[in-house]
């Protein structure tokens, strides 16, 4: 099969920052920080490989954003103070060393926190028992705790924590850009999701109201980092604890979600689905990346989900994506862009790399200077 890959290797500019190609590493939590949330030398080596392997941008794991309820996992990294932010510098330098854009993902776990050294219990938009069970490979077991419904003050504090952390990520750690984690069942997605958000105030009800938390966070982050720093939002339907969730109002919801993000000044929208090319709603309908493109025509669209094969990657660019992001395929092939460029085969992803615990394994760093 002969596929023209030139589109994958053309640069794109996002809010003044040039990304050298269209292939980025998707965010992956690997719980390899110190117990007090500092990024480590192992993480710096792990992230540097992706840049050396030719990725145009690297989005970090979800980094927790305050010393209250944001932390989701034991050994997750944070950026809640200057010490944690400084600890990210070696990893950021590693990502930038070979010309990749370093994007920090800001994450508040909300109701599905399963390891938080700052607080007992979890909070969310409403006191609704999360679906599913905690993730064993992140040291979890059994069901999630029943969260407490957030007060106005707690909502304001969570937004402020994300904004302040984004500021530290840029100013202290040296990241180029910020991704706000609005996807996958974490706090901001809990606000967007109808069954986890049962509020009757301005944060709940209509899709417009349920988007408010994400948009207020975007506004606060923008105010903190300034107009010249790329800021984006990750959005999904599925969740780590509910894979098959679909937005009730389907394409009308997509219009509200993507249209309001564009209106709110997002520089990029990162959509993720299990298989990015599938119809987002009814059979035969448009994919989520196509809908994002339609309703946010001037915004860079990053698309994720099963896009590591060259044919799927190229097809995604035709279906509305500007950049594709790769998670498991990047673990199996830290040099995936170089392989695609050279027409070399890809290694298959081996799930055992994430077991029994999902931390970074020495075998992933083989062949690298310590």
- Select from 326, 336, 340, 360 the one that contacts ligand FMN (CB under 6 A): 326
137 vs 199, which CB is nearer to ligand FMN? Answer: 137
For residue 305, state whether it binds ligand FMN (rule: CB under 6 A). yes
Q: Are strands 177-181 and 101-107 parallel, antiparallel or unpaired?
A: parallel
Name the minimum Å distance from CB 119 to ligand FMN.
Answer: 20
**Long-range interactions of 289-294: CB distance < 8 A, separation 24+:** 289/316, 289/319, 289/320, 289/321, 290/319, 290/320, 291/251, 291/254, 291/255, 291/258, 292/235, 292/254, 292/258, 292/320, 293/320, 293/321, 294/258, 294/320
Distance CA(176)–CA(313), nearest Å, equals 24
Active-site residue identified among 186, 195, 243, 244: 186
For residue 314, state whether it binds ligand FMN (rule: CB under 6 A). no
Distance CA(59)–CA(49), nearest Å, equals 13
For residue 29, state whether it binds ligand FMN (rule: CB under 6 A). yes
- Select from 187, 358, 360, 361 the one that contacts ligand FMN (CB under 6 A): 358
Distance CA(52)–CA(280), nearest Å, equals 34
Q: What share of the chain is helix, strand, coil (3-state, %, to 5)?
A: 35, 15, 50
For residue 289, state whether it binds ligand FMN (rule: CB under 6 A). no
Name the minimum Å distance from CB 165 to ligand FMN.
Answer: 15
- Select from 8, 24, 28, 271 the one that contacts ligand FMN (CB under 6 A): 28
Name the DSSP class of 32: -
For residue 115, state whether it binds ligand FMN (rule: CB under 6 A). no
For residue 72, state whether it binds ligand FMN (rule: CB under 6 A). no
Task: Report the alpha-carbon angle 176-260-274, nearest 5.
Answer: 70
Residue located via tokens 């946010």: 296
Residue located via tokens 């794991």: 61
Name the minimum Å distance from CB 206 to ligand FMN.
Answer: 26
Site mask, ligand FMN, residues 327-346, x = CB under 6 A?
Answer: xxx-----------------
Indicate if 138 belongs to the active site: no
205 vs 279, which CB is nearer to ligand FMN? Answer: 279
Q: Which stretch binds ligand FMN (CB under 6 A): 83-91, 207-215, 302-310, 332-340?
A: 302-310
Site for ligand FMN in 187-216 (CB under 6 A): none
Site mask, ligand FMN, residues 237-276, x = CB under 6 A?
Answer: -----------------------------------x----
Name the minimum Å distance from CB 368 to ligand FMN.
Answer: 20
For residue 140, state whether it binds ligand FMN (rule: CB under 6 A). no
Distance CA(138)–CA(73), nearest Å, equals 6
CB atoms within 10 A of CB 195: 12
Q: Which residues pair with 246 in a beta bridge?
A: none
Residue 336 contacts residue 319 (beta carbons within 8 Å): no
253 vs 359, which CB is nearer to ligand FMN? Answer: 359
DSSP characters over 167-203: HHIIIII--SEEEEE--BTSHHHHHHSTTT----STT
Q: Which stretch binds ligand FMN (CB under 6 A): 25-33, 43-51, 141-149, 165-173?
A: 25-33
317 vs 358, which CB is nearer to ligand FMN? Answer: 358
Distance CA(268)–CA(265), nearest Å, equals 9
Q: Provide the strand spans (E) within 264-345.
A: 268-272, 300-304, 323-326
Size of the site for ligand FMN (CB under 6 A): 22
Q: Which stretch binds ligand FMN (CB under 6 A): 46-54, 156-164, 180-188, 295-303?
A: 180-188
Q: Of the candidates 328, 283, 337, 334, which has an alpha carbon nearest to the alpha carbon of residue 305?
A: 328
Catalytic residue annotation: 186
Site residues, ligand FMN (CB under 6 A):
26-29, 61-62, 105, 181, 183-184, 234, 272, 304-306, 308, 326-329, 354, 358
């Amino acid at each position: 099969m002969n596929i023209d890959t030139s589109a994958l290797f053309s640069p794109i500019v996002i809010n003044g920052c040039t990304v050298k190609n269209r292939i980025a590493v998707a965010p992956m939590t690997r719980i390899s920080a110190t117990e007090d949330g500092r990024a480590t030398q192992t993480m710096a080596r792990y992230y540097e490989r992706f840049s050396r392997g030719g990725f145009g941008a690297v989005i970090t794991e979800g980094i927790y954003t305050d010393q209250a309820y944001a932390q989701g996992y034991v050994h997750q990294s944070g950026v809640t103070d200057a010490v944690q932010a400084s600890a990210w510098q070696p990893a950021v330098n590693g990502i930038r060393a070979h010309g990749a854009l370093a994007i920090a993902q800001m994450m508040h776990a909300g109701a599905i926190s399963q390891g938080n050294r700052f607080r007992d219990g979890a909070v969310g938009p409403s006191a609704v028992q999360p679906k599913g069970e905690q993730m064993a490979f992140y040291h979890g077991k059994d069901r999630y705790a029943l969260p407490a419904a957030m007060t106005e003050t707690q909502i304001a504090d969570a937004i402020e924590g994300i904004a302040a952390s984004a500021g530290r990520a840029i100013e202290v750690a040296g990241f180029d850009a910020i991704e706000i984690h609005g996807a996958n069942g974490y706090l901001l997605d809990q606000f967007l999701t109808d069954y986890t958000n049962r509020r009757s105030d301005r944060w709940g009800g209509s899709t417009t109201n349920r988007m408010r938390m994400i948009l207020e966070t975007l506004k606060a982050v923008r105010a903190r980092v300034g107009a010249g720093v790329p800021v984006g939002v990750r959005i999904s339907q599925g969740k780590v604890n509910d894979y098959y969730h679909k937005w009730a109002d389907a394409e009308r919801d997509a219009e509200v979600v993507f249209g309001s993000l564009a209106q709110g000044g997002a520089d990029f929208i990162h959509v993720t689905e299990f298989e990015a090319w599938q119809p987002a709603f009814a059979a035969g309908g448009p994919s989520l990346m196509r809908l994002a493109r339609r309703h946010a025509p001037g915004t860079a669209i990053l698309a994720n989900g099963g896009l590591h094969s060259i044919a799927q990657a190229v097809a995604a660019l035709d279906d509305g994506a500007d950049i594709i992001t790769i998670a498991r395929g990047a673990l199996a092939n830290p040099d995936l862009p170089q392989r695609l460029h050279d027409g070399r085969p890809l290694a298959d992803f081996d799930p055992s790399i994430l077991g029994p615990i999902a931390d970074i394994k020495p075998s992933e760093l083989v062949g690298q200077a310590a």
